[in-house]
């Protein structure tokens, strides 16, 4: 952190420092971390397998209805538009689920990341007794700890939960000795009204 940053209240007040590159991995981790903090069962392996099966079953059943609407019976009596339309909708929804949350997830995240204003920025953080000070190439902010009623510690980082759902993600590798992740955890425990620890990774490769 630049000691001359306008939001910094004085280097002698800094308790913990951290810095990291806001790359695509951290972008995905921050989005997952916020959702995991809200719902600890979000995007687990069992959830992914269930979604995978559901999406493919919906697609297969939809395709069967579509074939039935155009099958041999339909040649004698005319195509069954209702059956065909129902199958098409079911198959399309199954394909959408599979692409959005499974096969096309990383491509969608990459597109969102490149459209994000802070993409690729170096983020410098300073913990002072009163607030979190954040500095990057394109923005500066200073947030009072009272605005973070809850802190959730994951295996690879911390989620500082704000009431407005504008959560702050801080990866554990951003801290350096002597102010390591353990020191950061102790400090955050002393500031948050509610502190939770979840045995989850924010990064997608759990």
Task: List beta partners, residue 47.
Answer: none
Whether 90 is in a domain gets the answer yes
Higher pLDDT, 144 or 105: 144
Answer yes or no: do 145 and 83 share one domain.
Answer: no
**164 band by pLDDT with thresholds 50, 70 and 90:** low
Asked if residue 3 belongs to a domain, the reply is no
**Does a structural domain hold residue 167?**
yes
Same domain, 172 and 81: no
Confidence grade of residue 205 (pLDDT, cut at 50, 70, 90): low
| Contacts of range 41-45, beta carbons closer than 8 Å, 24 or more positions apart | 43/204, 44/206, 45/206
Q: Is pTM, for the whole model, over 0.95? A: no
Tell whether 206 is covered by a domain.
no
Segment 188-199, tens digit of pLDDT = 999 999 999 999
Domain boundary among 97, 113, 129: 113
204, part of any domain:
no
68 vs 82: CA distance, rounded Å: 11
pLDDT for 182: 92
On the question of pLDDT at 131 being above 70, the answer is yes
Confidence check: pLDDT of 73 > 70: no
Residue 78 confidence class, pLDDT cut points 50, 70, 90: low
5 part of a folded domain: no
- Domain containing residue 36: CATH number: 2.30.29.30
**Domain match, 144 and 168 both:** yes
Whether 89 is in a domain gets the answer yes
Strand, helix or coil at 62? helix
- Cα–Cα dist 69/79, whole Å: 6
Q: How many domains does the chain have?
A: 2
Same domain? For 108 and 125 the reply is no
Q: Which domain holds residue 29?
A: 11-40+119-197
CA–CA distance, 144 with 54 (Å, rounded to integer): 44
**179 pLDDT tier (thresholds 50, 70, 90):** confident
Could you give the CA distance from residue 133 to residue 177 in angstroms, rounded to a whole number? 19
109 and 134 belong to one structural domain: no
Per-residue pLDDT, 25: 93
Task: Examine residue 94 and state whether it is found in any structural domain, yes or no.
Answer: yes
- Tell me the pLDDT band of 1, cut-offs 50, 70 and 90: very low
Say if residue 55 is in the same domain as residue 156. no
C-alpha span between 144 and 24 (Å, rounded): 27
Query: What's the rounded Cα separation, in Å, for the pair 118 and 124?
Result: 13
Query: What does the pLDDT average to over 75-82?
Result: 63
**Do 167 and 136 share a structural domain?**
yes
């Amino acid at each position: 952190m630049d000691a001359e940053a306008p939001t910094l209240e004085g280097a002698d007040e800094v308790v913990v420092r951290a810095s990291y590159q806001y790359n695509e991995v951290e972008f995905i981790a921050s989005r997952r971390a916020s959702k995991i903090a809200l719902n600890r069962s979000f995007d687990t392996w069992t959830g992914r397998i269930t979604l995978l099966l559901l999406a493919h079953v919906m697609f297969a059943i939809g395709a069967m209805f579509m074939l039935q609407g155009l099958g041999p019976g339909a040649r004698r009596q005319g195509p069954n538009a209702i059956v065909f339309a129902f199958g098409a909708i079911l198959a399309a929804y199954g394909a959408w689920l599979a692409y959005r949350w499974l096969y096309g997830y990383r491509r969608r995240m990459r597109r969102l990341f490149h459209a994000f204003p802070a993409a690729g920025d170096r983020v410098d953080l300073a913990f002072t007794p009163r607030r979190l000070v954040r500095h990057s190439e394109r923005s500066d902010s200073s947030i009072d700890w009272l605005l973070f009623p809850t802190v959730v510690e994951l295996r690879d980082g911390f989620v500082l939960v704000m009431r407005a759902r504008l959560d702050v993600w801080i990866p554990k590798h951003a801290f350096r000795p002597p102010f390591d992740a353990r020191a950061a955890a102790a400090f955050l425990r002393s500031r948050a009204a509610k502190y939770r620890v979840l045995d989850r990774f924010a990064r997608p490769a759990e």
